[in-house]
Amino acid sequence: MEIQGKKAVVFGGASGMAKASAELLKQRGAEIAIVDLPTSAGAEVAKSLGGSFFECNVLDAEETEAAVHGAIESLGGVHISVNTTGGGIAKRTLTKEGPHPLEDFRRVVDLNLISAFNISRLVADAMSRNEPEDEERGVIINTASIAAFEGQIGQVAYAAAKSGIAAMTFVMARDLGSLGIRAVTIAPSLFATGLTAGIPSDFEQQLTKDAAFPKRMGRAEEYGKLVVAIAENPMLNGGTIRLDAGQRFAPK
């Protein structure tokens, strides 16, 4: 896909990996709409990119649908969807206090897996109406985690949700292939965004000691570079790409 002139909706785009993705897509000539929490810096980020901002809590399906439709309407369509929304908790399946609360598990799945599918189905519907370019109408990029494959102790809910995103990617690509719409997932390791952005260097070295190279946390722009590569390369489809410097999470 030629990014110049394309329309991109970036979910979670007020900060971190999604913000870096929005900035790089803008540099390549895309028009940008940002969707993020009302408490985020989404409005300022969108303004800096000459785009629009739409408030949304992805746990609210109806609010998400309204934000997706609003963002697409503001752009006049969508060719690229990037979604990094999500989060997790640290709770074991069974603790001294008792079993993992079911509602906490359900919330993590809703926040990660259900919201990713909701966004994907909505943007796919809009992409299906695009005029094809070299038979392609759009690309949907979701975010998992390497915890999907070797989750740490206490990540049972997060690992289940992120592995669900990875699992649905290939099927989604098959579902949408006849329409010329691709689906790809990125599975990052630890990145210097959000809560991990300001941790001491000695703690960072401990967290990343099992990486092959480089032995550090990822940088937001490195995620963004992969988003650009996925958008530009039509043969990238149906897979989950590890972005992890060769790291495998230890049990804890």
What is the rounded CA–CA span in Å between residue 114 and residue 5? 30
Q: Residue 28 burial by CB count (10 A; 0-12/13-18/19+): exposed, middle or buried?
A: middle
Tell me the three state secondary structure of residue 213: coil
What is the rounded CA–CA span in Å between residue 78 and residue 127? 6
Catalytic residues: 158
Q: Are 205 and 148 in contact (CB under 8 A)?
A: no
What is the rounded CA–CA span in Å between residue 195 and residue 193? 6
Which residues neighbour 198 within 8 Å (Cβ) at sequence distance 6 or greater? Answer: none
Q: Residue 76 burial by CB count (10 A; 0-12/13-18/19+): exposed, middle or buried?
A: exposed
Closest CA to 129 of 77, 165, 69: 77
What is the rounded CA–CA span in Å between residue 130 and residue 43? 27
